[in-house]
Amino acid sequence: MSCSVADTIGLPASTLDPHAMQVRPYRALDEPAVVALWHECGVTRPWNDLRKDIARKLGVQPEWFVVGTDGEELMATVMAGYDGHRGWVNYLAVAPAHRGHGHGRRLMQHVEQLFLGAGVPKVNLLVRSTNAAVIQFYRRLGYVQDEAVCLGKRLIPDVEG
């Protein structure tokens, strides 16, 4: 099943909101729930080792790897980073059972505030061209398609093949 982060306009979490989400930094004990969420949401690829991705993120700006929770339940994630030129967003995912309440929007607002606080001038992210729902989600948040081609080269293989 593919996880859409296409949420409606969200309101800040409050104790009166039955769909409230708390945002906090990732903790090591979150790893199993994060990996399960990413699988549930279909953001994984066979050539990426999710645990290695998490470990790598924890080595660079770990405080910008945040999760959304509902009580003890981990329901959303996002990884953000700044390379000195642009901010990058990865692994934005919201559990299917929690979609439609603005959680994806709220996480993006949180990340954008981190970027603004650090003086980041521009945000980039990658979305698979076939994922129309997620492209629409980001367009509703004001993101536009850049006139650029994404190229990649794997330097360290995660999976032996």
Domain ranges of the chain: 22-140
Share of the chain above pLDDT 70, in %: 88
Spell out the alpha helix ranges (H) of 29-102. 31-41, 50-58
Confidence of residue 45 (pLDDT cuts 50, 70, 90): confident
d(CA 59, CA 160): 23
End-to-end alpha carbon distance in the chain: 25
Q: Which two tokens stand for residue 52?
A: 């290695």
Tell me which CATH code domain 22-140 carries.
3.40.630.30
> Quick check: 80 pLDDT over 70?
yes
d(CA 68, CA 106): 9
With CA atoms as reference, report the closest residue to 36 among 74, 65, 62: 74
Instruction: Name beta bridge partners: 88.
Output: 81, 124
**Lowest-confidence segment of 58-67, 70-79, 98-107, 152-161 by average pLDDT:** 152-161
pTM for the model: 0.83
Give residue-wise pLDDT tens across range 140-154.
Answer: 999 999 999 888 898
> Quick check: 157 pLDDT over 90?
no
d(CA 44, CA 151): 19
